[in-house]
Amino acid sequence: MSSPPPAEPAPKPRKKAAAKKPAEAQASGEARSDAALKQAVLDAALKDAVFDGFTDKVLIAAAKTAGIETAEMTRLFPDGPLSLIEFYSHQVDAEMEKVLAGLDLPSRKIRERIKLAVLTRLSILKPHKEAARRAGALLSLPMHAGLGMKLAYATVDAMWRAAGDVSTDFNFYSKRAILAGVYGATLMRWFNDTDKDETATAAFLDARIENVMQFEKFKAKAKDALSTFPMFKDWAAKKK
What is the CATH number for 142?
A: 1.10.357.10
Please check whether residue 207 lies inside any domain of the structure.
Answer: yes
What pLDDT is attached to residue 238? 53
Q: What's the domain range around 214?
A: 33-222
For residue 88, give the nearest of 127, 114, 30 by alpha carbon: 127
The reply to whether 60 falls in a domain is yes
- 236 falls within a domain: no
Q: Is residue 148 part of a domain?
A: yes
94 within some domain: yes
Question: What pLDDT does residue 136 have?
Answer: 96
Residue 40: count of CB within 10 angstroms of its CB: 17
Q: Reply yes or no on whether the pLDDT at 39 is more than 60.
A: yes
Q: For residue 7, is it within any domain? A: no
pLDDT the model gives residue 227:
54
128 assigned to some structural domain: yes
pLDDT for position 228: 54
pTM for the whole structure: 0.78
Work out how many domains the chain is built from and give that number. 1
Section 112-123 average pLDDT: 96
Q: With respect to residue 211, please indicate whether it lies within any of the assigned structural domains.
A: yes
Question: For the chain, what percent of residues have pLDDT higher than 90?
Answer: 67
- Model confidence at 222, in pLDDT bands (50, 70, 90)? very low
**Would you place residue 168 in the very low, low, confident or very high pLDDT band (cuts 50, 70, 90)?**
confident
Range among 30-39, 80-89, 208-217 with highest mean pLDDT value: 80-89
Report the alpha-carbon angle 52-57-60, nearest 5: 130
| Stretch 201-218: mean pLDDT | 81
